Amino acid sequence: MPSNSLDLLLETLSEDMSPEMASLLADPAVHADCVVYLDTLFSSLSDLLLSSLPPSMSDTGTTQETHKTIVEEIAELSSKQRSLEARLKECTVSKSLAIVESSVNLFTFYEGFQTKFDNKMGTLQTEIKAVKSQKWKQPVPESKLMNVDSTINILNNLPLLTDLLELPSLIKICIKQGNYLEALEINLFIKRLLIRFSSSEARNSHISILHKIQRQVALELNEMMLGLLNLLSNDLKQSSLVKTMGILAKLQPFLNSATHNELKVIYFNARINFIMKEFSYLQPLLKTKTIQNLEKYLKRSIEIVREYGYSTIATYQGIFPNSDDSVYVHNFLQTVLTALLHILVAELPVMLVASPAPGHSSGSTTDAKTLKDGLLLQLYYCLLSLSRVGGQSFQFMFVNGLVDREIMEEEEWAAVEEKVNKNRVFK
């Protein structure tokens, strides 16, 4: 590298040095040594500094191959770009007629809409100016003024009016999603609006719309009430029953009732229907009246009465804690237990003489008596459990019903009762 260039480079580098280091370059010997060092450095790195390839491509074995790969990629990308441009031109040309037709139709529609809109707005502005300036040749009819004011009022409150008209649809969505409390809140909001505008001066222009909205909302709430009443006849948990009854109590015709007697009757009737449906689901077991199927049928029937009878009364007492209407509980238990008694009278004698199912050992008198004692013990516990929440015992009804039909002897029931009392003593 020329010495003049090295001197210039050294002078440039000395500007960034500290004053002490820069003062050393004033010595000719030090200056000469620095020039020699820079010349040696540039001589050894000249190939690397003057190369147009990155440092990683300095190896002779891979430089040419990598360079070719980059070139190929550039060519491939360029080819794809030209292909996409050609396809875009072809698509534009093929769809040009549709684009032109769409543009013409859009322009025609826009011109027609703009013309009609300008005409309507001009007419409306003319009427408003005429009313304000009172330049009518004849007195303006009051109905005309009211129509203009009503139109202006509707335009000013169009977003709010749209929200109000969507309330019935919003309630329907809430009901479908199970958000019953939100639906009731919307209904209360509409009632508050009716109360507010019924006492205002502008009630004639507002109250009719609100009444229409309220009628639509009432229809949706009636559908919700029917759905909730159907839910009471299904297998619901206690929390779901309490929630459903709480929502029904806030609906018409139960809302203004102080005692909710109608709702109580509906609740017990729905639970009776549910228990009867559970009995009907066990009917397939009676198609083949083997001793095993009959035993399963009777045991499950007793368990249905014990489980759902107990939960029904416990839930009722939780919903109406201060209610003294024991007649509803008595009628419910009377109906359910009478149905259970009919099942026992009809199928228990058949079980005692039935043959076992294929693959089971033949039953004996001892086996039948054991099954009968087990059923009577289960029945005793069922009646005992229901008497705790029902406040009365129905043992007398079952003892008389089974003894009178010679299905059971009083000594057998006494033995079951003695066995239960003995277990209590031991506990």
Statement: residue 426 has pLDDT above 80: no
Q: Let me know: does 13 contact 34? Beta carbons within 8 Å.
A: no
pLDDT at residue number 43: 77
The predicted model gives 105-132 an average pLDDT of 82
Q: Mean pLDDT lowest for which of 254-263, 302-311, 359-368?
A: 359-368
CA gap 60, 46 in Å, rounded: 16
Statement: residue 113 has pLDDT above 70: yes
Task: Please state the length of the chain.
Answer: 427
Q: Which is more confident, 130 or 210?
A: 210
Q: Which is more confident, 155 or 70?
A: 70
pLDDT at residue number 364: 46
Statement: residue 139 has pLDDT above 60: no
Residues 351-380 have pLDDT tens digits of 888 766 565 555 444 477 888 899 999 999
The whole model's pTM is what? 0.59
CA distances from residue 128 to 140, 150, 202 in whole angstroms, order as listed: 12, 12, 20
Angle at 114 between CA 111 and CA 116, to 5 degrees: 110
Token representation of residue 412: 């057998």
Q: Mean pLDDT lowest for which of 60-69, 96-105, 411-420?
A: 60-69
Statement: residue 349 has pLDDT above 70: yes
CA gap 353, 95 in Å, rounded: 87
Q: Which is more confident, 392 or 311?
A: 311
Statement: residue 397 has pLDDT above 80: yes
Q: Which is more confident, 77 or 55?
A: 77
Q: Let me know: does 67 contact 53? Beta carbons within 8 Å.
A: yes
Confidence of residue 206 (pLDDT cuts 50, 70, 90): low
| Average predicted confidence (pLDDT) for the chain | 80
pLDDT at residue number 358: 60
Token representation of residue 196: 């507010």
CA gap 242, 249 in Å, rounded: 11
Three-state secondary structure readout of the chain: CCHHHHHHHHHHHHCCCCHHHHHHCCCHHHHHHHHHHHHHHHHHCHHHHHCCCCHHHCCCCCHHHHHHHHHHHHHHHHHHHHHHHHHHHHHHHHCHHHHHHHHHHHHHHHHHHHHHHHHHHHHHHHHHHHHHHCCCCCCCCHHHHHHHHHHHHHHHCHHHHHHHHCHHHHHHHHHHCCCHHHHHHHHHHHHHHHHHHHCCCCHHHHHHHHHHHHHHHHHHHHHHHHHHHHHCCCCCCHHHHHHHHHHHCCCCCCCCCCCCHHHHHHHHHHHHHHHHHHHHHCHHHHCCCCHHHHHHHHHHHHHHHHHHHHHHHHHHHHHCCCCCCHHHHHHHHHHHHHHHHHHHHHHHHHHHHCCCCCCCCCCCHHHHHHHHHHHHHHHHHHHHHHHHHHCCCCHHHHHHHHHHCCCCCHHHHHHHHHHHHHHHHHC
Statement: residue 314 has pLDDT above 60: yes
Statement: residue 419 has pLDDT above 90: no
CA gap 165, 191 in Å, rounded: 14
Q: Mean pLDDT lowest for which of 73-82, 161-170, 412-421?
A: 161-170
Three-state secondary structure readout of 100-132: HHHHHHHHHHHHHHHHHHHHHHHHHHHHHHHHH
Token representation of residue 45: 């790195």
Q: Which is more confident, 256 or 90?
A: 90
Statement: residue 66 has pLDDT above 80: no
Residues 7-40 have pLDDT tens digits of 777 788 888 788 888 788 788 888 888 888 888 8
pLDDT at residue number 298: 95
The predicted model gives 244-265 an average pLDDT of 83
CA distances from residue 198 to 82, 159, 166, 168, 204 in whole angstroms, order as listed: 73, 22, 21, 20, 9
Nearest CA to 154 out of 110, 115, 202, 107 is that of 202
Percent of the chain with pLDDT over 90: 22
| Domain edges within the chain | 3-45, 66-149, 157-231, 260-426
Q: Which is more confident, 161 or 35?
A: 35
pLDDT at residue number 305: 95
The predicted model gives 138-163 an average pLDDT of 60
Q: How many CB atoms are located within 10 Å of the residue 302 CB?
A: 21
pLDDT at residue number 268: 94
